[in-house]
Amino acid sequence: MEKFEQIFSYINEKAEEHEKTENISFLDGVLQALEDILDEKDSWMGNNATKEEIRKAIQIAILKGMRKTSQPNHQMTPDTLGLLVGYFVEQFFEEQLKTKQISLLDPAVGTGNLMLTVMNLLNGKVSATGIEVDELLIRLAADTAELIEQPVMLYHQDALQKMLVDPVDAVVCDLPVGYYPNEEVALDYELCAHEGLSYAHHLFIEQSVNHTKEGGYLFFLIPANLFESEQAKELHKYLKKHTWIQAVIQLPDNLFASKAHEKSILILQKKSDEQRAPREVLLAKVPNMSNKQALSMFFEKVQVWKKNK
């Protein structure tokens, strides 16, 4: 049995015990199991495991819990997408990462899987802040971050309301898609809809730009049809005013259950007097991840674009 499988089996067993004895959901049982480990009520077998092995084991347990409860806001960014976002963060910050840490924000952190995947990939080079409105999810994120010893500051709040977060070098976010119910808060945004409810994912983009340093980068997982909606025109106008679009990366179709769930990666740079727009936007499609040759050609294309940008 691999180390991460052993850790998963352990967390799974403890979560099932809590589920039965305390009559709580399996996901709450996972949280209780993690907190027992941190409080040293239970022995911990993860001392010799890597940060990635621990993260993956906890992730599988959380996924099991999410499948059992199937709440719409309980979703997790898959590792494949987290690693791709991490690769692009590494590419865009290559020079800075040689000499210093970068600061990262995820305004819709959920259980922290996207943020922590990126942090593990750039181990020791990132300090991060996460915002999440769901208490159960943010507690799972906090416990996971503590167990894998990643420096994370977490805030339990609606990220579209005022945030006490200093501007960061980078934002990573798997955008929550849908309408934002708080019309009063939405009025403070340039991307507030002229009629009816505003798109939460548009407001998350604006809030993220507001909390990014000039010249900083933003890495979003977006709905593939983001620029085709009825509010897309306003979004285009906003992006043109405040950012430079660096890249739009289409993701492989086979990663998603249906066309409606397809996503892309949108990479923006907040405008800065010291920097200039890229000569051309990187438009590319990630091939099927099992096609090693095509994948290698994709990464080569990224490198060529990076040299010429």
pLDDT tens readout for residues 203-238: 999 999 999 999 999 999 999 999 988 889 999 999
Query: Cα 157 to chain center, whole Å?
Result: 17
Place of tokens 């890229």: 278
Q: Which fold has domain 79-308?
A: Rossmann fold (3.40.50)
Q: Which residues contact 225 (CB under 8 A, 6 or more apart)?
A: 262
Low-confidence spans in the chain with pLDDT less than 50: none
**Domain spans, the chain:** 3-69, 79-308
Q: Report pLDDT for 72.
A: 59
3-class DSSP assignment, residue 91: helix
Q: Report pLDDT for 77.
A: 84
Q: Report pLDDT for 295.
A: 92
Q: Are 126 and 119 in contact (CB under 8 A)?
A: yes
In angstroms, the first-to-last Cα distance of the chain is: 46
Nearest of 204, 126, 114, 113 to residue 168 by alpha carbon: 126
| Helix 79-92 and helix 113-121, axial crossing angle in degrees, nearest 10 | 50
Nearest of 180, 259, 168 to residue 208 by alpha carbon: 168
Place of tokens 């990663």: 255
- Please tell me the pTM assigned to this model: 0.94
Nearest of 126, 67, 69 to residue 92 by alpha carbon: 126
Place of tokens 């894998």: 148
Q: Report pLDDT for 256.
A: 83
Q: Report pLDDT for 51.
A: 94
Does the domain at 3-69 match CATH 2.40.30? Answer given as no
pLDDT tens by residue, 83-133: 999 999 999 999 999 999 999 999 999 999 999 999 999 988 999 999 999
Q: Report pLDDT for 306.
A: 92
| Amino acid symbol at 289 | M
Q: Are 251 and 263 in contact (CB under 8 A)?
A: yes
